[in-house]
Amino acid sequence: MRYYFNIKDEVDLLDEEGLELSDLDAVKKEALLSSGEMLKDLQGRHFWTGEPWVLWVTDQPNGGGNTMLTLTFTSRLSA
């Protein structure tokens, strides 16, 4: 089945192509790996304001269809 990995990082970045994965366990693994790769490269100050960074996986392109899972990361610097 094809799954679509969408991102909210100040704006929505909607997946049009998706990935062919075997099952929900493979989707969970890919979501965690992808999130880690993207988060480690974030340099923008907006990430540290407490505004959530979200990855959600759907079964239709462009954020449509059913949401299979959502990962939300929030970070804030202490005063």
Q: Domain boundaries in the chain?
A: 2-73
Global confidence as pTM: 0.89
Give pLDDT tens digits for 10-52. 889 999 999 999 999 999 999 999 999 988 877 666 677 888 9
Q: Is the model more confident about 1 or about 78?
A: 1
Tokens of 7: 């991102």
Cβ distance 5 to 67 under 8 Å?
Answer: no
H helices within 1-79, ranges in order? 24-40
CA atoms within 13 A on the CB side of 18: 17
Residue 67 to residue 58: CA distance in whole angstroms: 4
